[in-house]
Amino acid sequence: MKYIKILLWVPFIGLLGFLSFANKIEPYVLGMPFLLFWIVFWMVLSSVILTIVYRFDPDNKGSDPE
Amino acid sequence: MNISLIIIFMFLILALYLGINARKGKDMNMQQFAVGGRGFGTLFVFLLVAGEVYTTFTFLGGSGWAYSKGAAVYYVPTYICLAYVLSYWLVPKIWKYAKEHSVISQPDYFASKYNSRSMGIIVAILGSMALVPYIVIQIKGLGIIVSEASYGAISPVVASFIGAIAVTTYVIISGIHGSAWTAVIKDIMILVVVVFLGIYIPIHYFGGIQPMFESVQSVKPEMLTLSNQGLSISWFISTVLLNAVGFYLLPHSFSVVLSANGEKTLRKNAITLPLYTLLLLFVFFIGFTAVVQIPGLQGAEGDLSLLRLAIETFDPWVIGIVGAAGLLTALVPASVMLMSASVGLTKSFYNAIVPKATEKQQLIASKLFLIGISSVALIFTITGGEALAILNIMSYSLISQLAPALFFSFPKNNLINKYGAITGIVAGVFIVLYATIFNVKIATFFPNVPHVINDISTGAIALLINTVVTLVVSIFTKNMDINKKQMSDIEASNY
Protein backbone atom coordinates (compact mmCIF):
# COMPACT_ATOMS: atom_id res chain seq x y z
CA MET A 1 0.00 0.00 0.00
CA LYS A 2 2.95 2.26 -0.62
CA TYR A 3 1.13 4.26 -3.26
CA ILE A 4 -2.07 4.83 -1.29
CA LYS A 5 -1.34 8.58 -1.13
CA ILE A 6 -2.18 8.81 -4.84
CA LEU A 7 -5.81 8.80 -3.71
CA LEU A 8 -5.21 12.30 -2.35
CA TRP A 9 -5.52 13.57 -5.92
CA VAL A 10 -9.13 12.44 -6.19
CA PRO A 11 -10.71 15.32 -4.19
CA PHE A 12 -8.82 17.84 -6.30
CA ILE A 13 -10.19 16.33 -9.47
CA GLY A 14 -13.70 15.99 -8.04
CA LEU A 15 -13.91 19.53 -6.72
CA LEU A 16 -12.18 21.38 -9.53
CA GLY A 17 -12.32 19.12 -12.58
CA PHE A 18 -16.07 19.00 -13.14
CA LEU A 19 -17.10 22.58 -12.48
CA SER A 20 -18.47 23.27 -15.95
CA PHE A 21 -20.72 20.24 -15.48
CA ALA A 22 -21.71 21.13 -11.90
CA ASN A 23 -22.18 24.87 -12.45
CA LYS A 24 -26.01 24.87 -12.50
CA ILE A 25 -28.90 25.61 -10.16
CA GLU A 26 -31.16 22.68 -10.92
CA PRO A 27 -31.74 19.96 -9.87
CA TYR A 28 -31.89 20.92 -6.21
CA VAL A 29 -30.39 18.19 -4.02
CA LEU A 30 -31.00 18.11 -0.25
CA GLY A 31 -32.44 21.61 -0.49
CA MET A 32 -29.32 23.01 -2.10
CA PRO A 33 -28.73 24.34 -5.63
CA PHE A 34 -26.73 21.76 -7.60
CA LEU A 35 -23.38 23.57 -7.54
CA LEU A 36 -23.46 23.93 -3.77
CA PHE A 37 -24.53 20.32 -3.36
CA TRP A 38 -21.66 19.17 -5.59
CA ILE A 39 -19.11 20.96 -3.44
CA VAL A 40 -20.64 19.69 -0.20
CA PHE A 41 -20.74 16.15 -1.58
CA TRP A 42 -17.03 16.24 -2.38
CA MET A 43 -16.14 17.70 0.99
CA VAL A 44 -17.77 14.72 2.68
CA LEU A 45 -16.11 12.35 0.22
CA SER A 46 -12.71 13.99 0.91
CA SER A 47 -13.07 13.02 4.52
CA VAL A 48 -13.92 9.44 3.54
CA ILE A 49 -10.93 9.27 1.20
CA LEU A 50 -8.63 10.61 3.90
CA THR A 51 -9.90 7.96 6.30
CA ILE A 52 -9.06 5.23 3.78
CA VAL A 53 -5.62 6.69 3.14
CA TYR A 54 -4.93 6.97 6.87
CA ARG A 55 -5.98 3.37 7.45
CA PHE A 56 -3.69 1.91 4.79
CA ASP A 57 -0.78 4.32 4.98
CA PRO A 58 2.34 2.40 6.14
CA ASP A 59 3.69 5.67 7.63
CA ASN A 60 1.15 5.40 10.43
CA LYS A 61 2.40 2.04 11.67
CA GLY A 62 4.99 3.53 14.00
CA SER A 63 3.96 4.62 17.47
CA ASP A 64 3.47 8.28 18.17
CA PRO A 65 2.74 10.01 21.45
CA GLU A 66 -0.99 10.43 21.80
CA MET B 1 -24.19 50.80 27.07
CA ASN B 2 -26.84 48.33 25.91
CA ILE B 3 -27.27 44.69 26.82
CA SER B 4 -25.55 43.39 23.64
CA LEU B 5 -22.41 45.40 24.34
CA ILE B 6 -22.36 44.30 27.97
CA ILE B 7 -22.43 40.65 26.92
CA ILE B 8 -19.67 41.21 24.37
CA PHE B 9 -17.42 42.94 26.89
CA MET B 10 -18.05 40.21 29.46
CA PHE B 11 -16.68 37.69 26.98
CA LEU B 12 -13.69 39.88 26.28
CA ILE B 13 -12.88 39.92 29.98
CA LEU B 14 -13.38 36.17 30.22
CA ALA B 15 -10.96 35.60 27.32
CA LEU B 16 -8.34 37.84 28.94
CA TYR B 17 -8.80 36.03 32.25
CA LEU B 18 -8.32 32.62 30.63
CA GLY B 19 -5.26 33.92 28.82
CA ILE B 20 -3.66 35.07 32.07
CA ASN B 21 -4.56 31.82 33.80
CA ALA B 22 -3.20 29.58 31.05
CA ARG B 23 0.19 31.07 31.69
CA LYS B 24 0.39 30.16 35.37
CA GLY B 25 2.69 27.28 36.29
CA LYS B 26 4.45 27.36 32.95
CA ASP B 27 7.89 28.69 32.46
CA MET B 28 7.61 31.20 29.63
CA ASN B 29 10.65 30.71 27.49
CA MET B 30 10.71 31.38 23.76
CA GLN B 31 9.75 27.83 22.81
CA GLN B 32 6.78 27.81 25.22
CA PHE B 33 5.62 31.20 24.01
CA ALA B 34 5.81 30.23 20.36
CA VAL B 35 4.98 26.55 19.92
CA GLY B 36 3.68 25.51 23.34
CA GLY B 37 6.76 23.31 23.91
CA ARG B 38 5.78 21.12 20.92
CA GLY B 39 3.37 19.16 23.09
CA PHE B 40 -0.11 19.70 21.64
CA GLY B 41 -2.18 16.60 20.96
CA THR B 42 -4.84 15.92 18.37
CA LEU B 43 -7.60 17.96 19.97
CA PHE B 44 -5.63 21.15 20.54
CA VAL B 45 -4.07 21.09 17.11
CA PHE B 46 -7.52 20.45 15.68
CA LEU B 47 -8.93 23.48 17.45
CA LEU B 48 -6.07 25.73 16.48
CA VAL B 49 -6.12 24.69 12.83
CA ALA B 50 -9.89 24.91 12.78
CA GLY B 51 -9.43 28.44 14.06
CA GLU B 52 -8.68 29.22 10.44
CA VAL B 53 -12.11 27.97 9.40
CA TYR B 54 -13.88 30.17 11.86
CA THR B 55 -12.19 33.49 11.83
CA THR B 56 -14.24 36.65 11.50
CA PHE B 57 -13.48 36.25 7.85
CA THR B 58 -15.68 33.21 7.41
CA PHE B 59 -18.27 34.50 9.82
CA LEU B 60 -18.75 38.00 8.39
CA GLY B 61 -16.80 37.76 5.15
CA GLY B 62 -18.37 34.41 4.20
CA SER B 63 -21.91 35.67 4.60
CA GLY B 64 -20.80 39.02 3.15
CA TRP B 65 -19.54 37.53 -0.08
CA ALA B 66 -22.50 35.18 -0.39
CA TYR B 67 -24.59 38.34 -0.11
CA SER B 68 -22.69 40.45 -2.62
CA LYS B 69 -21.13 37.90 -5.02
CA GLY B 70 -23.19 34.73 -4.58
CA ALA B 71 -21.74 31.38 -5.58
CA ALA B 72 -18.18 32.74 -5.91
CA VAL B 73 -18.04 32.46 -2.12
CA TYR B 74 -17.95 28.66 -2.43
CA TYR B 75 -14.26 29.11 -3.07
CA VAL B 76 -13.81 29.35 0.69
CA PRO B 77 -14.86 25.84 1.81
CA THR B 78 -13.35 24.39 -1.38
CA TYR B 79 -9.88 25.72 -0.73
CA ILE B 80 -10.01 24.91 2.94
CA CYS B 81 -11.08 21.34 2.22
CA LEU B 82 -8.34 20.85 -0.37
CA ALA B 83 -5.78 22.42 1.91
CA TYR B 84 -6.56 19.69 4.44
CA VAL B 85 -6.29 16.97 1.81
CA LEU B 86 -2.94 18.38 0.79
CA SER B 87 -1.90 18.70 4.43
CA TYR B 88 -2.05 14.95 4.93
CA TRP B 89 0.98 14.63 2.71
CA LEU B 90 2.56 18.03 3.28
CA VAL B 91 2.63 18.92 6.97
CA PRO B 92 4.17 15.78 8.48
CA LYS B 93 7.21 16.46 6.28
CA ILE B 94 7.47 19.97 7.68
CA TRP B 95 6.95 18.82 11.25
CA LYS B 96 9.59 16.10 11.03
CA TYR B 97 12.24 18.40 9.66
CA ALA B 98 11.38 21.09 12.21
CA LYS B 99 11.68 18.66 15.07
CA GLU B 100 14.99 17.20 13.88
CA HIS B 101 16.49 20.67 13.52
CA SER B 102 14.75 22.33 16.52
CA VAL B 103 13.05 24.87 14.30
CA ILE B 104 10.34 26.94 16.01
CA SER B 105 9.28 29.34 13.29
CA GLN B 106 8.76 29.50 9.57
CA PRO B 107 11.71 31.78 8.73
CA ASP B 108 13.91 29.42 10.76
CA TYR B 109 12.67 26.56 8.68
CA PHE B 110 13.55 28.15 5.36
CA ALA B 111 16.84 29.53 6.68
CA SER B 112 17.80 26.05 7.81
CA LYS B 113 16.67 24.31 4.60
CA TYR B 114 18.59 26.71 2.38
CA ASN B 115 21.39 27.29 4.84
CA SER B 116 20.95 31.01 4.33
CA ARG B 117 20.16 33.71 6.82
CA SER B 118 18.97 36.10 4.09
CA MET B 119 16.38 33.51 3.12
CA GLY B 120 15.11 33.52 6.71
CA ILE B 121 14.86 37.29 6.79
CA ILE B 122 12.97 37.40 3.48
CA VAL B 123 10.54 34.74 4.66
CA ALA B 124 9.99 36.61 7.92
CA ILE B 125 9.24 39.86 6.13
CA LEU B 126 6.94 38.17 3.61
CA GLY B 127 5.17 36.30 6.39
CA SER B 128 4.42 39.49 8.28
CA MET B 129 3.35 41.20 5.09
CA ALA B 130 0.93 38.41 4.28
CA LEU B 131 -0.44 38.42 7.79
CA VAL B 132 -1.18 42.12 7.81
CA PRO B 133 -4.26 41.84 5.54
CA TYR B 134 -5.37 38.89 7.65
CA ILE B 135 -5.00 40.78 10.91
CA VAL B 136 -6.76 43.72 9.28
CA ILE B 137 -9.66 41.35 8.57
CA GLN B 138 -9.90 40.41 12.23
CA ILE B 139 -9.66 43.96 13.54
CA LYS B 140 -12.11 45.19 10.93
CA GLY B 141 -14.45 42.35 11.84
CA LEU B 142 -14.20 43.27 15.51
CA GLY B 143 -14.96 46.85 14.58
CA ILE B 144 -18.05 45.80 12.61
CA ILE B 145 -19.28 43.58 15.44
CA VAL B 146 -18.82 46.12 18.20
CA SER B 147 -20.27 49.03 16.27
CA GLU B 148 -23.26 47.06 14.91
CA ALA B 149 -23.97 45.59 18.34
CA SER B 150 -23.88 49.06 19.85
CA TYR B 151 -26.69 49.94 17.42
CA GLY B 152 -24.58 52.78 16.07
CA ALA B 153 -23.48 54.24 19.43
CA ILE B 154 -19.83 53.32 18.83
CA SER B 155 -18.33 54.27 15.47
CA PRO B 156 -16.47 51.56 13.51
CA VAL B 157 -13.18 53.46 13.88
CA VAL B 158 -13.38 53.61 17.67
CA ALA B 159 -14.49 49.99 17.71
CA SER B 160 -11.45 48.99 15.63
CA PHE B 161 -9.22 50.74 18.17
CA ILE B 162 -10.80 48.79 20.99
CA GLY B 163 -10.38 45.58 18.99
CA ALA B 164 -6.72 46.16 18.20
CA ILE B 165 -5.90 46.95 21.82
CA ALA B 166 -7.80 43.90 23.09
CA VAL B 167 -6.01 41.54 20.71
CA THR B 168 -2.54 42.92 21.43
CA THR B 169 -2.95 42.82 25.20
CA TYR B 170 -4.30 39.33 24.98
CA VAL B 171 -1.34 37.93 23.03
CA ILE B 172 1.30 39.72 25.07
CA ILE B 173 -0.13 38.21 28.21
CA SER B 174 -0.60 34.64 27.15
CA GLY B 175 1.30 33.57 24.02
CA ILE B 176 -0.06 30.48 22.28
CA HIS B 177 -1.36 28.79 25.45
CA GLY B 178 -4.05 31.37 25.91
CA SER B 179 -5.10 30.89 22.31
CA ALA B 180 -5.65 27.18 22.74
CA TRP B 181 -7.98 27.55 25.73
CA THR B 182 -9.96 30.43 24.37
CA ALA B 183 -10.16 28.41 21.16
CA VAL B 184 -12.21 25.80 23.00
CA ILE B 185 -14.85 28.29 24.12
CA LYS B 186 -14.78 30.05 20.80
CA ASP B 187 -15.40 26.89 18.82
CA ILE B 188 -18.33 25.81 20.94
CA MET B 189 -19.91 29.25 20.78
CA ILE B 190 -19.46 29.81 17.09
CA LEU B 191 -20.75 26.34 16.35
CA VAL B 192 -23.94 26.93 18.29
CA VAL B 193 -24.46 30.43 16.93
CA VAL B 194 -23.78 29.61 13.29
CA VAL B 195 -25.89 26.45 13.20
CA PHE B 196 -28.72 28.18 15.01
CA LEU B 197 -28.73 31.27 12.79
CA GLY B 198 -28.20 29.24 9.63
CA ILE B 199 -31.22 27.07 10.30
CA TYR B 200 -33.51 29.47 12.11
CA ILE B 201 -33.20 32.46 9.79
CA PRO B 202 -34.11 30.71 6.48
CA ILE B 203 -36.98 28.87 8.20
CA HIS B 204 -38.21 32.04 9.89
CA TYR B 205 -38.34 33.99 6.62
CA PHE B 206 -39.01 31.32 3.99
CA GLY B 207 -40.04 28.14 5.78
CA GLY B 208 -36.91 26.18 4.84
CA ILE B 209 -33.54 26.04 3.10
CA GLN B 210 -34.80 25.08 -0.36
CA PRO B 211 -37.58 27.70 -0.40
CA MET B 212 -34.94 30.24 0.57
CA PHE B 213 -32.72 29.28 -2.38
CA GLU B 214 -35.75 29.25 -4.67
CA SER B 215 -36.62 32.80 -3.77
CA VAL B 216 -33.00 33.84 -4.35
CA GLN B 217 -33.34 32.10 -7.73
CA SER B 218 -36.45 34.11 -8.57
CA VAL B 219 -34.89 37.44 -7.57
CA LYS B 220 -31.26 36.99 -8.66
CA PRO B 221 -30.66 33.61 -10.35
CA GLU B 222 -27.12 34.63 -11.32
CA MET B 223 -26.16 34.50 -7.62
CA LEU B 224 -26.39 30.71 -7.49
CA THR B 225 -23.83 29.76 -10.14
CA LEU B 226 -20.38 30.95 -11.16
CA SER B 227 -20.52 33.62 -13.83
CA ASN B 228 -19.13 33.42 -17.36
CA GLN B 229 -16.55 36.09 -16.78
CA GLY B 230 -15.02 37.87 -13.84
CA LEU B 231 -15.54 35.52 -10.91
CA SER B 232 -15.75 32.63 -13.37
CA ILE B 233 -14.75 28.98 -13.29
CA SER B 234 -11.14 29.73 -14.16
CA TRP B 235 -11.04 32.36 -11.40
CA PHE B 236 -12.48 29.79 -9.02
CA ILE B 237 -10.00 27.02 -9.87
CA SER B 238 -6.95 29.27 -9.78
CA THR B 239 -7.97 30.94 -6.53
CA VAL B 240 -8.79 27.64 -4.84
CA LEU B 241 -5.46 26.08 -5.84
CA LEU B 242 -3.52 29.16 -4.81
CA ASN B 243 -5.20 29.33 -1.41
CA ALA B 244 -4.97 25.58 -0.81
CA VAL B 245 -1.23 25.75 -1.37
CA GLY B 246 -0.91 28.91 0.70
CA PHE B 247 -3.00 27.66 3.63
CA TYR B 248 -0.22 25.97 5.62
CA LEU B 249 2.32 28.50 4.42
CA LEU B 250 0.64 31.26 6.38
CA PRO B 251 2.98 31.73 9.32
CA HIS B 252 0.30 31.06 11.91
CA SER B 253 -0.83 27.76 10.39
CA PHE B 254 2.82 26.84 10.10
CA SER B 255 3.28 27.54 13.84
CA VAL B 256 0.33 25.35 14.68
CA VAL B 257 1.87 22.50 12.70
CA LEU B 258 5.07 22.86 14.69
CA SER B 259 3.15 22.81 17.97
CA ALA B 260 1.82 19.27 17.29
CA ASN B 261 3.28 16.38 19.25
CA GLY B 262 3.64 13.98 16.33
CA GLU B 263 3.13 13.26 12.65
CA LYS B 264 0.16 11.05 13.34
CA THR B 265 -1.61 13.84 15.19
CA LEU B 266 -1.36 15.93 12.05
CA ARG B 267 -2.59 13.19 9.71
CA LYS B 268 -5.48 12.33 11.97
CA ASN B 269 -6.55 15.96 11.95
CA ALA B 270 -6.62 16.01 8.18
CA ILE B 271 -9.44 13.46 8.23
CA THR B 272 -11.97 15.34 10.33
CA LEU B 273 -11.20 18.88 9.31
CA PRO B 274 -13.05 18.78 5.94
CA LEU B 275 -16.24 17.82 7.77
CA TYR B 276 -15.78 20.68 10.17
CA THR B 277 -15.58 23.01 7.19
CA LEU B 278 -19.14 22.01 6.27
CA LEU B 279 -20.35 24.35 8.98
CA LEU B 280 -19.60 27.15 6.57
CA LEU B 281 -22.76 26.13 4.76
CA PHE B 282 -24.83 27.66 7.51
CA VAL B 283 -22.96 30.93 7.13
CA PHE B 284 -23.89 30.92 3.44
CA PHE B 285 -27.53 30.24 4.23
CA ILE B 286 -27.55 33.44 6.26
CA GLY B 287 -25.86 35.42 3.50
CA PHE B 288 -28.31 34.17 0.85
CA THR B 289 -31.30 34.93 3.08
CA ALA B 290 -29.98 38.47 3.40
CA VAL B 291 -29.95 38.79 -0.42
CA VAL B 292 -33.73 38.69 -0.41
CA GLN B 293 -34.49 40.17 3.00
CA ILE B 294 -32.18 43.17 3.29
CA PRO B 295 -31.14 44.15 -0.25
CA GLY B 296 -29.21 47.34 -0.89
CA LEU B 297 -25.93 46.95 0.99
CA GLN B 298 -23.24 48.10 -1.44
CA GLY B 299 -19.72 46.70 -1.95
CA ALA B 300 -17.83 46.11 1.28
CA GLU B 301 -21.03 46.80 3.23
CA GLY B 302 -21.99 43.23 2.34
CA ASP B 303 -19.85 42.20 5.30
CA LEU B 304 -22.48 43.77 7.55
CA SER B 305 -25.24 41.53 6.18
CA LEU B 306 -25.13 38.81 8.85
CA LEU B 307 -25.33 41.24 11.74
CA ARG B 308 -27.89 43.51 10.05
CA LEU B 309 -30.12 40.53 9.40
CA ALA B 310 -29.64 39.24 12.96
CA ILE B 311 -30.49 42.67 14.36
CA GLU B 312 -33.65 42.75 12.30
CA THR B 313 -34.63 39.27 13.50
CA PHE B 314 -33.68 39.06 17.19
CA ASP B 315 -33.69 40.83 20.56
CA PRO B 316 -30.57 42.72 21.65
CA TRP B 317 -29.39 39.99 24.05
CA VAL B 318 -29.18 37.49 21.16
CA ILE B 319 -27.13 40.07 19.27
CA GLY B 320 -24.87 40.16 22.32
CA ILE B 321 -24.25 36.40 22.10
CA VAL B 322 -23.74 36.53 18.33
CA GLY B 323 -21.37 39.47 18.79
CA ALA B 324 -19.46 37.68 21.55
CA ALA B 325 -19.00 34.63 19.32
CA GLY B 326 -17.78 36.98 16.60
CA LEU B 327 -15.42 38.64 19.05
CA LEU B 328 -13.81 35.31 19.89
CA THR B 329 -13.50 34.33 16.23
CA ALA B 330 -11.46 37.47 15.75
CA LEU B 331 -9.46 37.28 18.96
CA VAL B 332 -8.15 33.72 18.69
CA PRO B 333 -6.90 33.75 15.10
CA ALA B 334 -5.58 37.30 15.37
CA SER B 335 -3.55 36.34 18.42
CA VAL B 336 -2.08 33.26 16.74
CA MET B 337 -1.23 35.36 13.69
CA LEU B 338 0.31 38.22 15.58
CA MET B 339 2.37 35.79 17.56
CA SER B 340 3.81 33.87 14.70
CA ALA B 341 4.61 37.04 12.77
CA SER B 342 6.40 38.55 15.74
CA VAL B 343 8.28 35.37 16.65
CA GLY B 344 9.35 35.03 13.02
CA LEU B 345 10.68 38.57 12.89
CA THR B 346 12.49 38.12 16.19
CA LYS B 347 14.13 34.83 15.25
CA SER B 348 15.43 36.01 11.91
CA PHE B 349 15.63 39.77 11.91
CA TYR B 350 16.47 40.59 15.51
CA ASN B 351 18.80 37.63 15.97
CA ALA B 352 20.64 38.61 12.81
CA ILE B 353 21.27 42.08 14.20
CA VAL B 354 21.89 41.02 17.79
CA PRO B 355 23.27 37.47 17.53
CA LYS B 356 24.04 37.22 21.25
CA ALA B 357 20.60 38.27 22.48
CA THR B 358 19.50 36.51 25.65
CA GLU B 359 16.25 34.60 25.86
CA LYS B 360 14.71 37.48 27.79
CA GLN B 361 15.76 40.08 25.24
CA GLN B 362 14.24 37.94 22.50
CA LEU B 363 10.94 37.79 24.33
CA ILE B 364 10.91 41.56 24.74
CA ALA B 365 11.83 42.06 21.07
CA SER B 366 9.05 39.75 19.92
CA LYS B 367 6.55 41.70 22.01
CA LEU B 368 7.71 44.97 20.50
CA PHE B 369 7.33 43.51 16.99
CA LEU B 370 3.87 42.42 18.02
CA ILE B 371 2.83 45.94 18.96
CA GLY B 372 4.39 47.23 15.74
CA ILE B 373 2.46 44.82 13.52
CA SER B 374 -0.87 45.42 15.19
CA SER B 375 -0.37 49.19 14.87
CA VAL B 376 0.28 48.81 11.13
CA ALA B 377 -2.79 46.61 10.82
CA LEU B 378 -4.88 49.16 12.69
CA ILE B 379 -3.79 51.93 10.32
CA PHE B 380 -4.76 49.83 7.30
CA THR B 381 -8.07 48.97 8.95
CA ILE B 382 -8.99 52.60 9.37
CA THR B 383 -7.78 53.78 5.97
CA GLY B 384 -8.71 50.86 3.67
CA GLY B 385 -12.21 50.05 2.43
CA GLU B 386 -11.96 46.58 0.85
CA ALA B 387 -14.35 43.72 1.44
CA LEU B 388 -12.98 41.05 3.76
CA ALA B 389 -12.79 38.45 0.98
CA ILE B 390 -10.47 40.67 -1.09
CA LEU B 391 -8.13 40.98 1.86
CA ASN B 392 -8.20 37.20 2.29
CA ILE B 393 -7.17 36.61 -1.33
CA MET B 394 -4.46 39.29 -1.06
CA SER B 395 -2.98 37.53 1.94
CA TYR B 396 -2.85 34.19 0.17
CA SER B 397 -1.46 35.64 -3.06
CA LEU B 398 1.51 36.93 -1.09
CA ILE B 399 2.24 33.92 1.08
CA SER B 400 1.83 31.34 -1.70
CA GLN B 401 4.95 32.76 -3.28
CA LEU B 402 6.86 30.63 -0.78
CA ALA B 403 5.46 27.45 -2.33
CA PRO B 404 8.26 26.75 -4.88
CA ALA B 405 10.92 27.17 -2.19
CA LEU B 406 9.01 24.79 0.08
CA PHE B 407 8.11 22.09 -2.42
CA PHE B 408 11.52 21.90 -4.06
CA SER B 409 13.12 21.49 -0.66
CA PHE B 410 11.44 18.13 0.08
CA PRO B 411 13.49 15.74 -2.10
CA LYS B 412 16.98 14.90 -0.88
CA ASN B 413 18.59 16.66 -3.83
CA ASN B 414 17.08 20.09 -3.98
CA LEU B 415 16.72 21.16 -7.60
CA ILE B 416 16.94 24.82 -6.69
CA ASN B 417 19.33 26.87 -4.59
CA LYS B 418 18.96 29.94 -2.39
CA TYR B 419 19.64 32.39 -5.19
CA GLY B 420 16.85 30.94 -7.29
CA ALA B 421 14.45 30.70 -4.39
CA ILE B 422 15.04 34.27 -3.25
CA THR B 423 14.82 35.81 -6.73
CA GLY B 424 11.65 33.82 -7.41
CA ILE B 425 9.98 34.94 -4.20
CA VAL B 426 10.91 38.57 -4.75
CA ALA B 427 9.62 38.43 -8.35
CA GLY B 428 6.33 36.83 -7.29
CA VAL B 429 5.71 39.29 -4.47
CA PHE B 430 6.55 42.21 -6.71
CA ILE B 431 3.99 41.07 -9.29
CA VAL B 432 1.27 40.63 -6.66
CA LEU B 433 1.90 44.06 -5.15
CA TYR B 434 2.17 45.77 -8.52
CA ALA B 435 -1.00 44.16 -9.86
CA THR B 436 -2.93 44.94 -6.69
CA ILE B 437 -1.83 48.53 -6.29
CA PHE B 438 -2.30 49.45 -9.96
CA ASN B 439 -5.25 47.11 -10.49
CA VAL B 440 -3.64 45.35 -13.44
CA LYS B 441 -5.00 42.22 -15.15
CA ILE B 442 -3.62 40.22 -18.05
CA ALA B 443 -6.01 42.07 -20.37
CA THR B 444 -4.18 45.30 -19.53
CA PHE B 445 -1.23 44.03 -21.58
CA PHE B 446 -3.03 41.69 -23.97
CA PRO B 447 -6.49 43.21 -24.62
CA ASN B 448 -7.59 40.27 -26.79
CA VAL B 449 -6.90 37.55 -24.25
CA PRO B 450 -9.93 35.26 -23.64
CA HIS B 451 -11.80 35.60 -20.34
CA VAL B 452 -10.77 32.10 -19.33
CA ILE B 453 -7.19 33.29 -19.05
CA ASN B 454 -7.85 36.85 -17.94
CA ASP B 455 -9.88 35.63 -14.95
CA ILE B 456 -7.01 33.56 -13.53
CA SER B 457 -6.15 35.07 -10.19
CA THR B 458 -3.15 37.37 -9.96
CA GLY B 459 -1.55 35.31 -7.24
CA ALA B 460 -1.61 32.19 -9.40
CA ILE B 461 0.03 34.00 -12.31
CA ALA B 462 2.65 35.45 -9.98
CA LEU B 463 3.27 31.95 -8.64
CA LEU B 464 3.81 30.60 -12.13
CA ILE B 465 6.31 33.33 -13.00
CA ASN B 466 7.94 32.85 -9.62
CA THR B 467 8.47 29.14 -10.31
CA VAL B 468 9.99 29.81 -13.72
CA VAL B 469 12.31 32.50 -12.32
CA THR B 470 13.31 30.23 -9.45
CA LEU B 471 14.26 27.40 -11.79
CA VAL B 472 16.05 29.57 -14.33
CA VAL B 473 18.09 31.44 -11.74
CA SER B 474 18.92 28.20 -9.95
CA ILE B 475 20.20 26.55 -13.11
CA PHE B 476 22.15 29.68 -13.96
CA THR B 477 23.76 30.04 -10.53
CA LYS B 478 24.37 26.33 -10.09
CA ASN B 479 27.48 26.61 -12.21
CA MET B 480 28.50 29.62 -10.19
CA ASP B 481 28.39 27.52 -7.04
CA ILE B 482 30.31 24.72 -8.70
CA ASN B 483 32.88 27.18 -10.05
CA LYS B 484 33.37 28.58 -6.60
CA LYS B 485 33.76 25.09 -5.24
CA GLN B 486 36.26 24.18 -7.93
CA MET B 487 38.16 27.36 -7.24
CA SER B 488 38.42 26.60 -3.58
CA ASP B 489 39.35 22.99 -4.36
CA ILE B 490 42.12 24.22 -6.60
CA GLU B 491 43.25 26.68 -3.98
CA ALA B 492 43.18 23.94 -1.38
CA SER B 493 45.23 21.62 -3.54
CA ASN B 494 47.84 24.34 -4.02
CA TYR B 495 48.73 24.20 -0.38
Please state the domain extents for chain A: 4-57
| Tens-digit pLDDT profile for residues B149-179 | 888 788 888 888 888 888 888 777 766 565 5
CA distance B404 to B113: 13
Does B445 fall in a domain? no
Range of the domain at B185: 3-386
- CB contacts under 8 A, A 5-44 vs B, are 5, 8, 11-12, 15-16, 19-20, 23-25, 28, 31-33, 35-36, 39-40, 42-44
Establish if B82 belongs to a structural domain: yes
Q: What's the rounded Cα separation, in Å, for the pair B328 and B10?
A: 12
Cβ within 8 Å of residue A27, ≥6 positions away: A34
Percent of chain B past pLDDT 90, that is, above it, reads: 9
- Number of Cα atoms under 13 Å in the Cβ half of residue B194: 28
For B151-211, list the strands marked E by DSSP.
Answer: none
Q: Which of B315, B272, B221, B317 is nearest to B87 (CA)?
A: B272
* Packing angle, helices B280-293 and B156-206, rounded to 10: 90
What is the rounded average pLDDT of the residues B90-104?
87
B221 and A25: CB-CB below 8 Å?
A: yes
Q: Looking at beta carbons, which residues of chain B come within 8 Å of A31?
A: 208-210, 213
pLDDT score recorded for residue A38: 93
The pLDDT tens digits for B237-261 are 988 998 899 888 888 788 778 878 7
* A64 with B226: Cβ contact below 8 A: no
Residue B407 inside a domain? The answer is no
Give the B-side interface with A, CB within 8 Å: 41-42, 71, 74, 77-78, 81-82, 84-86, 88-89, 92, 208-210, 213-214, 217, 221, 224-226, 233, 236-237, 240-241, 261-265, 267-268, 270-272, 274-275, 277-278, 281, 284
Distance, CA of B190 to chain centre: 18
Of B334 and B178, more confident: B334
CB contact under 8 A, A36 and B275: no
CA distance B211 to B194: 20
Predicted confidence (pLDDT) per residue in B7-62, tens digit: 888 888 888 787 777 665 555 555 655 555 565 666 666 666 666 667 777 788 88
| Domain count along chain B | 1
Whether residue B113 contacts residue B98, with contact meaning beta carbons closer than 8 Å, is answered with no
The whole-number pLDDT of residue A66 equals 41
Contact B58, B69 (CB under 8 A): no
Q: Residue B294 — very low, low, confident or very high, per pLDDT cuts 50/70/90?
A: confident
In a domain, B143, yes or no: yes
Distance CA(B106)–CA(B345), nearest Å, equals 10
Task: Specify the pLDDT at position A65.
Answer: 45
Residue of A12, A64, A65 lying closest to B82 (CB–CB):
A12
Can you tell me the ipTM of this complex?
0.91
For residues B35 and B246, give the distance between their C-alpha atoms in angstroms, rounded to a whole number.
20
Residue-wise pLDDT for B403-448, tens only, equals: 898 888 888 777 888 888 899 999 999 998 888 777 777 777 777 7
Mean pLDDT value of segment B97-104: 86
In this complex, the residue of A5, A24, A57 whose CB is nearest that of residue B225 is: A24
CA dist B275 and B282 (Å) reads 13
- Interface mutation vs chain B, best among A3, A4, A5, A19, most B CBs within 10 Å: A19
Give the whole-angstrom CA distance, residue B119 versus residue B100. Answer: 20
- Whether B448 and B227 have beta carbons less than 8 Å apart is answered as no
Residue A29, strand partner residues: A32
Hey, what's the torsion of the CAs at B243, B247, B249, B255, to 10 degrees?
160
Best residue in B88, B263, B283 to probe A by mutation, most A CBs within 10 Å?
B88
**What is the Cα–Cα distance from B52 to B62, expressed in whole angstroms?**
13
Q: Which of B309 and B492 is assigned the larger pLDDT?
A: B309
Confidence of residue B282 (pLDDT cuts 50, 70, 90): very high
**Does residue B322 contact residue B148 with C-beta atoms inside 8 Å?**
no
Domain CATH number, residue B237: 1.20.1730.10
Residue B266 has a pLDDT of 83
* AA identity, residue B376: V
* B162 φ/ψ sector (left φ>0, alpha ψ -120 to 50, else beta): alpha
Range in A40-44, B293-297, B391-395 with the lowest mean pLDDT: B391-395
Q: Shortest Cα distance from A44 to chain B (angstroms)?
A: 6
In a domain, B203, yes or no: yes
List the single best residue of B46, B75, B85 to mutate versus A (max A Cβ within 10 A).
B85
Instruction: Say if B351 falls within a structural domain.
Output: yes
